[in-house]
Structure 1
Amino acid sequence: MTITARDRREVSEAVSPFSVQNALYDDTPNVIKNMLRELAERPVVPDGVELSERVIRDICDQKELGSTRLRIDNRLSAELSQHSFEAEYTTGLDIDDLKQKVEKPQYSYPAVELSLEIYEPTGYEIQLDSNGRARSLSVLVMCINHDSVLMYDPLKYADTDISGSLEATEVDKKEFVKGWKGRLETTSALWVEETDQQRLSQY
């Protein structure tokens, strides 16, 4: 099954109001902010899960050259605990595992990292670091089908003034998996989900 017109329309409607990142290395806090923003728009999800940019930057331990990703899930869970939501981070996933998480209504869309040494985006050039290496890029995965992945790529709109008219990026599924695995052949994903307490409160 391929990405359908309905898939593209639904994802485009979700991505369109996303906020853009302000600086080159702000992709991780930007993806988390938009992940929570989309989640907060869903029925029965409290508005409190949408955190401020300042709080999210603190969670990510954001510095001039990017985020310290160690234990972001713990810090994010602490901020969401009063709303009965928590962040989960796991490694060693395959693409079918990721697809299941994308499609679970109790989960936010998952954030993953793509190696820019392998994944080659269209529409913008990759900037190398002082050692001539490309870094990893955080993206929000929003639809996976037989041959394509629809995702929000924050670097595509970095430091632009077009909030309110953003579009999802469609990439070949095999190329996405290569970039997700990177040279170390490892995968990971971060998402937010309801706790057992939240699920019970709905019955």
Structure 2
Amino acid sequence: MKIIDEKKYYKMSELVEATNLSNFTISFYHKKGLLPNTLNTSKNMKYYPEITVTVLNMIKYFKENLNFSIDYIKELFDYYKIDFDDRSELILQSIQMLSIEIKNPILKKDINETTLNEAISLDLIDDKEIYFKTEIEVLKVYEELREYEVSSYLIEEYVKTSKKLALIERELSTKVLEKTGFLPEILVLDILNSFKPYIFNRHTIEEFKKEVQ
């Protein structure tokens, strides 16, 4: 590690050790525009800013756990205008990338206005001009629930419970941060992608079993 202008930088060999990715892979990601700019010294040595480790861990997670292609990851990075200067913002952006697939965009004007307005008022989705695959799926589920005359009250309670869970998730992350002074980006993604869905679905299954019995 090298300190330049009071900032930490890594050599390629140090990135390889920190991420278990090959020299070739890291260079490929850099050429694809997925990594922050390097700093070249007078000895023609390239140094990568400290946040590069976080970015590489994110890319690795998206590929191995979500089967995202490099081209799609690049598309996500471009859409969310990835912030290579702020690690906290970068982790927040990674959560957004995990939550919303930016595929099959549909304009707001092409969506049923009543359904959309109701979903926005219930805080199921945001009010914006373009919606993507995941958000359209949420709207479809909402429409179906309304067809079965599920009350808005139940849906509101579902959203309230989700918000409470979000607060607990943030507290879990805060406790790790307080303990270590460092928030592992992979832990945050694992909580959202594995820990929460498994526990939530596990108890949902238990509730359905009670009805069957």
TM-score (norm 2): 0.30
Q: Which has the higher contact order (CA 8 A, sep 6+)?
A: 1
Higher strand share: 1
Query: TM-score scaled by structure 1?
Result: 0.31
Name the one with the larger helix percent: 2
> Which structure has the bigger radius of gyration?
2
